[in-house]
């Protein structure tokens, strides 16, 4: 059986092959944090694997029954682990399920690292995290920003309590609050940076108000292309912001933004507004008019 250290090293080595230069590139603090924070300490004993078996059901991994398989899954770079379905209406104690209404998960290591790569807080900066989940990303961030500088918000009280307990056992001084992440956390504002582990359809006004002018927001945003995109924004201090899309990924949405409206409500161009150009050498370019 591979040791935790060996699995962690293998996970890092694989993540180092992603992207043009690897997600850890130019972020030595992030590499150190990844080795310092035991991901297994923030992973529930029982989790669903979001890959259907032959019977069409999502299997359950139990640390007590399948310790090696469970641990390998914890450090599988591209594997998210589902910790809640249908806001807890589907119980993991009941075993495998056909339901796919995932409402909480431990994001895969590669995505966690990639998002923190772009957030890249400096020591001592004040950071607001939306979506505490199990607390793993919070622990990684706290390794960088230091005691008392991270505030994290989780909409589900039970999850917030579990994360708070895990983080306290590990010795982290992190402000964990059970609240609606769409509202941010006004009491701790202003923040230098904000990261959301839940996707949005529309950037909440509270986030733009609570992050300093010139600060940074990193969040997944829904797109009309059947995939979310990771987005960065720089608030202007007047309630607005400018930014760009970084890469594609897939994320659960904020509880208050699960229901989708027409794309035009969120400012996306209609498909006729896209222009496609193909050059004689096969290069393809897609852009919007204007």
- Active centre residues (catalytic): 107
Q: Measuring CA to CA, how many Å separate 93 from each of 44, 127, 214?
A: 12, 35, 46
CB 155 within 8 A of CB 181: yes
CB 98 within 8 A of CB 5: no
Distance CA 65, CA 225 (A): 40
Which one, of 202, 213, 266, lies nearest residue 240 by Cα?
213
The two three-digit tokens of residue 33, written as one number: 């944090």
Distance CA 233, CA 205 (A): 13
β-partners of residue 203 are none
Determine how many CB atoms are found less than 10 A away from the CB of residue 62. 16
Q: Measuring CA to CA, how many Å separate 59 from each of 3, 55, 95, 103?
A: 24, 10, 7, 16
DSSP at 182: G
């Amino acid at each position: 059986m591979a040791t935790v250290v060996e699995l962690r090293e293998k996970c890092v080595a694989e993540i180092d092959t992603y992207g043009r230069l690897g997600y850890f590139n130019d972020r030595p603090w992030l590499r150190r944090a990844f080795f310092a924070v035991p991901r297994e300490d923030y992973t529930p004993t029982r989790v669903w694997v979001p890959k259907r078996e032959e019977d069409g059901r999502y299997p359950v991994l139990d640390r007590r029954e399948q310790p090696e398989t469970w641990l390998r899954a914890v450090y599988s770079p591209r594997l998210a682990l589902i910790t809640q379905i249908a806001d807890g209406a589907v119980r993991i104690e009941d075993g495998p399920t056909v339901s796919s209404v995932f409402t909480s998960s431990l994001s895969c290591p590669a995505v966690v690292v990639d998002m923190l790569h772009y957030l890249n807080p400096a020591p001592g900066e004040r950071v607001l995290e939306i979506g505490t989940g199990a607390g793993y990303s919070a622990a990684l961030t706290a390794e960088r920003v230091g005691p008392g500088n991270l505030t994290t918000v989780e909409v589900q009280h039970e999850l917030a309590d579990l994360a708070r307990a895990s983080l306290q056992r590990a010795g982290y001084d992190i402000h964990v609050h059970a609240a609606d992440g769409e509202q941010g956390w006004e009491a701790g504002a202003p923040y230098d940076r904000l990261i959301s582990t839940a996707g949005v359809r529309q950037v909440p006004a509270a986030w733009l108000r609570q992050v300093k002018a010139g600060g940074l927001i990193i969040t997944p945003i829904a797109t009309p292309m059947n995939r979310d995109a990771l987005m960065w924004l720089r608030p202007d201090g007047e309630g607005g912001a400018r930014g760009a899309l970084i890469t594609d990924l897939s994320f659960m949405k904020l509880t208050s933004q699960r229901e989708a409206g027409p794309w035009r409500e969120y400012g996306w161009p209609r498909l006729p507004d896209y222009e496609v150009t193909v050059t004689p050498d096969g290069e393809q370019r897609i852009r919007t008019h204007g």
